[in-house]
Structure formats: structure tokens, C-alpha cells
A and B are shown apart, each in its own frame.
Chain A
Amino acid sequence: MHIKHLIPAAVLWVIITAVGELLVIANLYPTVGSLEADDFDWIFRFLLAIGVPVFAFVIAAIVYSMYAFRSAKGDEMGSTIRGNGWFPRIWLIVTGGLAAFVMVFPGLTGLQKLQSDRTAYGWGDTEADVVIHATGAQFNWTFTFADGTEVNIIKGKELVLPVHQKVRFNIDSVDVVHSLWIPAFRMKIDAIPGRTTYMTVEPTVKGSYAEDQSFRVQCAELCGLDHSVMNFPIRVVEKPEFDQWLASLKTGAK
């Protein structure tokens, strides 16, 4: 008597899954501006691909039951299965297996890549081509390059980064907790007073805030009154152009 219901319910599950998986194909993401962004989008899609059938299973079971097992009055009794047998054990094995799988891949493997040494991924101990010290303050960012050049809201007015170069941000804050987030690069780390945090990115495409709003540094940790407008434009250019820009700021300072 289960089979009679299992087949249509399974068909419903497959249909909902198929519709849901369109989300995996859809481009829901801002510009892919860095290696890290590429990884994020890939992992996000992978998790969506796994998550959709799980949610679809819940929907299918509820929708099918509401249709097939509905009862207009409360005086009919349902089947007396209690679920003491093999089914809960299988369920436990399947959900446990799925959880373990997601934990390892893409969880721990992705984390390992993020923290691996001498690459441009995130929080590893990177040999960076460009090191920038970012300081958060209510409600502005200041970026200091290795040669002492400062970029802020008055001077420079935008942060220019070289494409295909490993860029390391060392981050701290002078007042409250901020967070340095660049949506196009999918990377974020908090700016904490009294300690220096860091992250690394490798921009892979050229772009600028003027054309694409995801090229910006955005404060992502509530920092007070003007938190929402604590952002800073980014422009990614070729290396020579970057060098030129940096040099121009230097002469401008003198």
C-alpha cells in the first residue's frame, strides 16, 4: 500500500527538484572579480545542487500528504505505523552521510584551500605582490601602501588594485569593530581594534565601481551612525597602470 503512494510522491519530488535546480544554473551572483570569487560561486552552486533536492523532499512529502491523506473530518484514524523499525536507521545513515560529505567536501577541503600557504586564497600565509594596510575608522577607510602612500576619502578617492597580482590586506581599526568586505572578490574579514587581521585576494578581471557596484570596499559590521555609507570605490587595472597611479599619488603628496 506504500507503493501506490511512493511512486506519485517520488515523481513530485523529481519535478520540484528539477524546477529548483534551475537556481543552480541561474546567475545570481555579482561580478566574479577574483580567484576567490570563482571558488565561492562554485561552492555555492554545489551546495545549492545538493540542498535543492533536500528541501524538495520536504516539500514533496508535505504537499503530497496534504493532498492524498487529507481527511475532511477528524474521526478517521490513520495507519498505526510507529517508525520503530529499519526506516529511521536508514534515515540516520543517509542524513549523517550527507552531513559528513558536505563537511568534508566542500567544507573542509574548501577551508584548506582558503588557508593554504603561499597561494592567493584568503587567509593563507601569502607571499603577496602588493601589501596594503587598511584601517577602519568611523566611517571611513584608509589604505596605506608599503611605500607609505595613503589613500583615503580625500586623497585618491578610490583604491586601485593590479589585476592578476596577489594582494594582501592587513586590517585594523582605530575605534570600533568594522569589517572589510569586497563583494566582487567574495572576501571579508573584520577590523578589530588592537589586533591585525588579514586577507588576500587575487583580482582576475578589470573593473571599477563606476561601472559595477560590486567593486567596492564595504563595511559589513554595524559600526554606528553612518555604517551604511561606509564604503570605498575600487578600480582594478593592469599592473603598469597601477604603478603609474601609485606614483602619481606620491608626487601629488609632495
Chain B
Amino acid sequence: MYAAKSVSGGIGLGLIGFYLGLGFIALLRWTLGYPEPWGGEINIIGGYIFGLIGWLMGVGMWGIWGREWFGQRTYPRKAPGWQRYFTFNTDHKVIGVQYTVTFIIVFLLAGALAMMMRLELANSGMQFLSHAQYNGTMSLHGTLMIAVAVAAVIGGIGNYAIPLLIGAEDMAFPRLNALTFWLVPPVAVALLSTPFLGGMETGWTAYPPLSVTTNSAQIMFDLGIITFGLTSILGGLNFLVTIMFMRAPGLSWGRLPIFVWAIFATSWIALLYTQGFAVALLLIALDRVAGMAFFNSTAGGDPLLYQHVFWFYSHPAVYIMVLPGFGMALEIIAHFSRKPLFAYRYAVGAFLGILGLSGVVWAHHMFTAGIPNYLHGPFLVATELISVPTGLVFLSALGTIWMGKLWLKTPMLFALAVIFNFGCGGVTGIFLADVPTDIHLQDTYFVVAHFHYTIVGGEIFGLFAGIYYYFPKITGRMYNETLGKLQFWWMFIAFNVTFFTMHLPGVQGMNRRIADYQSGLDTVNLIVSLSGLFLGASFILFVYNMINSWIRGPLAGDNPWQVRTLEWQVSSPPPLENFPTPPVVQGHPYDYGVPGSVHGVFPGQKLGGVPVVGGGGGQ
């Protein structure tokens, strides 16, 4: 059992490493004469770092990579079948599935936490949670969902699809890719340990001084998120190199599928800004364990400094979340409209424009934070400027469906919902970019509704579109279309009722992150809670459909969607290293209905009855 060996090796070495780390720090402290060698957060940090290394080595990194550092021969584990998914596997398709399944599980878990929150908030007064439990639940829901939003589409669908879409054998750095994934389970362990340390009480934003003075759950949050940031940076780097240097001959930038462009822009944002979050949390950790007093105003520190560093990453992060959703939606909309992607160059321009602007708008999260008055104007202008490139995404999507032949399969419905939902999220964004309205709406449920519309509506719907779209390619089997459509309409309606209604309590004076609220808001909260629970139930259908179809769905064939891009020209699932013969690209991916147009050809092989032409331009 390779899988059991790999996982138990990881857990075993991880635990040994953890205790070694704890002990090592304790030994150091004892040697240096500290009064308390055990029990400090510094011990936890040591344990975490040693445990992380032990986990990685145990799970298979040692055999496939680590031995090389000491001049020894590496031995890749060739696990068969489903066991691949539990090993340190370098195949991008395996990693894509690992990411997707992991984050779907995290998504369901964090969703269950949301159900607990909505049960508590169904009525004013405390129902079944204490204030501390509510704050912990809310913080964990937020943090886990941020992780899902940052990594699910780019890590899951991106890893699976990008090398296939560009005609590459694998990612540029396959072992780094495997490392990127296997850093994720320790993050989950760190975050899920927080309830046992008293529960987080700062939310995912972790503003000091609260995050410096709060319980030790904070240090696990810091360590987990810094690790998670590392995966984001390494993943971004890997995607950039892959997209820049591993495209098939003839796949020029102007012929790149739009999803690849979206991942390209996203990867730049991840690479450029993620360290901001890591730095912010490192400063918090140092404040906690070393008393550096970065944010202690009585010792000359400044709490506002954190907010600047934090939002310097965390605003661009929302584009890390939503750009892959846009890319997925545009990709699917073009294929299922049987029509060239409308205004392709403008859509590419939109992604690059958002990439450019993402770094100069962060202080709109701080309009009421007491920043100098002269900063409000520039950040208001920059923020509203982003609506222009975002508008181009709408231009491309709506232009593509206009006069198309819309094949309304489940992926297409989800992709259209991305555009619909983001229409609402984009409009409410204006209210929050505008300082005079933001003063009242800041930190209320209006904001909560807004970011659920943009992130869930814009990205998670895109994630589901991508999962349904690639399900036949990944598994070789077709999901149940009726159940898929049923889940779509169920989720779409429940989502919109829940979050559209949620704007109202925000305007009327319900601030966010509260365990209890004013009794005047009872009715509207009950509606939100009921439809929120209804929304949660829709995912049961999804899980059933996926598991059932994976096991006994009908065979899907190589190209069930009759799509032109490269990944659909190989078998389902694709063989190891993807293409039996390397593809050559001769035309645009979306030229549906254009007479005589070809996208990819496979020299030396016959495909789908089309006579194959050799040659084709180089990059």
C-alpha cells in the first residue's frame, strides 16, 4: 500500500519533527537560562517548522527529491490508480485533482461553519454559541474560505488544465508543484488546531493590537497562513515559467486560451504581493514571541502600519480569487456559445489592467481607519478606475453569448452565473469605493454581502463551472446532467436570495462579525438564515453527483463538449505527459464556425477524421 506508506510516513515523521522541534527550542531556552523552557509560543514555532519538514520528507519528498541533495539516487514512487493521489506525485493532473478535492472538502467544512453562524444569527440574543465560540467559528469560516478562494481554482483547475491547454507535458517545475500541494495539509492542521487553543478571535484580518494580545490560536493562524502564502508564491512562479516557456509551437500570446491569460495575470499578482501578508503576520508573530512592539503604541509602534501592509496584499488577493473565476467563465462561455470569444484582445487587456491597478487601491479598506484626509481622494479614484477593465470582462462575456448558439449545459449555466453575480457585486462595489457612502457601510453586512457576491458569485461559481466542465476529462466519465442542472438552479437561487437580502441589514445598522445584533433586525436575519441553510443543502447534491458519477457514470468519450482546445484532443483521462505526439498550434482556439480554421494539430497522427497538416510556426 503505497498510499498508506506515504501518508503514515508523513504523519509519523511530522509528529516526530513536531516534538523534536518543541524539545529543541526548550533545550535552547534551558541552555540560555530562560525560566520557562516549555510552554511558550516560541516552542510551537519550532515544533511547527520541524514538523513541517518531517511531514514533507515522510510523505515522499525525501525519496523523490531530498536524497538528491546528498548525492544519492532518487526513487519516484510509482503508485497505481487512486493511490497516486496520496503520494508525493509530480504529475500536474494528479496535483490538480489533489488540490480540487482537498479544497472542496475545506469548502464544505467552512460552509458547515457558516451554517452554525447562520443558526446562531437566526434570531437576536444568544442561541447556542458563546461569544468566544461565535468569534472562533466566524474567524475559522473566514480564514478557510479565503484559503479556498485563493487556491481552489488556480491550484485545482489551473494545475490540471494549464499544461494541457498550452500543449505542455507538465508544469515547468513538477517537484516544486508537488511540494506546493503537500504544504497545504499542514496549513489545514494549523488552522483546525485553533479551536483547541481557545479559538481565533481576530477574524482572518488579524488586526493588531488584538492579534498581539489574544490567545495562542493566533500563532497557529500566523504559521499556517505564512506557509499558505509560500504555496501561493511557489505556485505563481511555477505557472509563470510554464506559461512563458512551455507553450506548444505556434501557440503565440495572441492565441492563448483566455483561462491561461487569467492564470498568467493571477500568478503575477500572487508572486508580487503575497509576501505582504506573510510579512504582516511575521511582524505579529515577532510582536508576540519577541516583544518587538511593532504595533504597540505605548512603545512607539503603530497599529495602522499593519493595516497598510496587510491590505497591500489582501486587496490584490481578491483579484487572485476572482480573475481565475473570470477566466474560467469566459473560456466556458466561448466554447458553449460556439462562437469566437468576443473582443479577445480587450479581455486580455482587462486582465492585465486589473493586474496593473490591483496594487494601488488597498487603502479603500481603510477609509474609516483614521488615515490622513488627503489619501481618500486618490484611493477613491484608483478604486473606481478598476471598474473599467472589469467592464471589459462583461463586454467579452455578453458579446460572446450575443448571436451565439448557447448550449446550456451545467458548466455553461455556472459560467453565466459568474457574470450575473459579479454584475451585482461590481455595482455594490461602487458604494464601497465611494467614501461618503463607505463611511456608513464599512464593516457592515453590506460589505459581507458585497464580497460574497464577488468571491462566491464570481469565483466559487467559476470553480463549480470548471469542475463540471473538466469532470469528464478528469474521470473519463460523465456526471449526471439533470442533477447538475438541479444543483445549479438550487445553488443560484438560494445564493441570490441569501446574499441579496443580506445587503439590507448592513444599510440598516448591522455591523459584521458580531455574535448578536439589535432585535429590530430579527425578520431580515431569519430570512437570510433560512435561505442560507437552503444554500448549504445544495452542496449535498453536488457531492452525491460527483462521487456517484465518478464510480458509475457513463463513459464520456474524449471530447464530449466538442471543444477545440488541446486538452480535449487527447483521451479522457489524458495519458501521463499528456500528448502522445507534441501538438502544433495553427490558429485561434475559439474560431468556431470559421471555415477552414484549425487550432491544434498533431503531426504524424490522425485525429477525428481531419487530415493532419504538419509544420506550423514556432513561438
Interface residues of A (CB under 8 A from B): 1-2, 5, 28-30, 36, 39-40, 43-44, 47, 50-52, 54-55, 58-59, 61-62, 65-66, 69-71, 73-84, 87-88, 91-92, 95-96, 99, 102-103, 106-108, 110-111, 113-115, 122-123, 175-177, 179, 181, 183-184, 186-190, 192-195, 197, 213-214, 216, 218-229
Contacts and interface: CB of A to CB of B under 8 A. Distances in A.
B440 A107 contact: no
Contacts of A122: 439
A78 B298 contact: no
Contacts of B384: 99, 102-103, 107
A83 B343 contact: yes
Contact of B209 (A111, A123, A176, A188): A176
29 contacts: A5-B403, A39-B436, A43-B437, A44-B437, A50-B430, A69-B337, A70-B405, A70-B408, A74-B409, A77-B593, A78-B337, A80-B340, A82-B342, A84-B345, A95-B392, A106-B436, A107-B380, A175-B209, A176-B207, A181-B443, A181-B511, A188-B368, A189-B439, A192-B297, A194-B302, A213-B518, A214-B508, A226-B131, A229-B516
Contacts of B443: 179, 181, 188, 220-221
Contact of B402 (A28, A69, A216, A229): A69
A40 B210 CA distance: 31
Given A87-B399, A188-B439, A65 B423 contact: no
B401 A61 contact: yes
B434 interface: yes
Interface in B187-213: 201-203, 205, 207-210, 213
B360 to A, nearest CB: 15
A187 B439 CA distance: 6
B303 A193 contact: yes
Given A189-B370, A214-B508, 11 more contacts: A39-B436, A55-B427, A70-B406, A70-B408, A77-B592, A79-B593, A111-B380, A113-B436, A177-B208, A192-B297, A195-B370
B427 A51 contact: yes
Given A69-B406, A83-B346, A195-B304, A228 B131 contact: yes
A103 B380 contact: yes
Nearest to B384: A103
Contacts of B338: 71, 74, 76-78
B395 A228 contact: no
B265 interface: no
Contacts of B428: 51
B513 interface: yes
B405 A177 contact: no
Given A40-B437, A77-B338, A195-B370, A222 B430 contact: no
Contact of A71 (B399, B406, B444): B406
A7 B504 CA distance: 34
Contact of B370 (A28, A47, A192, A222): A192
B369 interface: yes
Nearest to B597: A80
B510 to A, nearest CB: 9
Contact of B407 (A71, A175, A192): A71
Interface string B384-427: 11011001101110110111111111000000100110011011
A115 B376 contact: yes
Interface residues of B, number: 97
Contacts of A218: 509, 511
A111 B378 CA distance: 11
B72 interface: no
B614 interface: no
B546 interface: no
A91 to B, nearest CB: 5
A193 B297 contact: yes
A37 to B, nearest CB: 8
B289 interface: no
B581 interface: no
A49 B52 CA distance: 53
A99 B391 CA distance: 10
Contact of B342 (A81, A96, A181, A226): A81
Interface in B461-518: 504, 507-509, 511, 513-518
B346 A66 contact: no
B119 to A, nearest CB: 16
Nearest to A175: B209
Contacts of A223: 210
Interface in B349-369: 368-369
A73 B407 contact: yes
Contacts of A5: 402-403
Contacts of B518: 213, 216
Q: Which of B368, B433, B516 has the most CB of A within 10 A?
A: B368
Contacts of B430: 47, 50-51, 102
Nearest to A229: B516
A106 B562 CA distance: 49
A223 B207 CA distance: 9
Nearest to B207: A177
Contacts of B420: 58-59, 62
Contacts of B513: 222, 227-228
Nearest to B139: A222
A123 B368 CA distance: 10
Contacts of B388: 92, 95-96, 99
Nearest to B421: A58
Interface string B67-104: 00000000000000000000000000000000000000
B395 A88 contact: yes
Q: Which of B297, B370, B423, B508 has the most CB of A within 10 A?
A: B370
B50 interface: no
Nearest to A199: B439
A81 B403 CA distance: 9
A28 B304 contact: no
A166 B213 CA distance: 37
Nearest to A124: B373
B213 A83 contact: no
Contacts of A47: 430-431, 434, 437
Contacts of B549: none
A81 B376 CA distance: 42
Contacts of B508: 28-30, 183, 214
A222 B210 contact: yes
A176 B201 CA distance: 12
Q: Which 7 A-B pairs have the closest CB atoms?
A: A194-B297, A183-B509, A77-B593, A78-B339, A228-B514, A83-B343, A58-B423
B213 A175 contact: yes
B340 A82 contact: yes
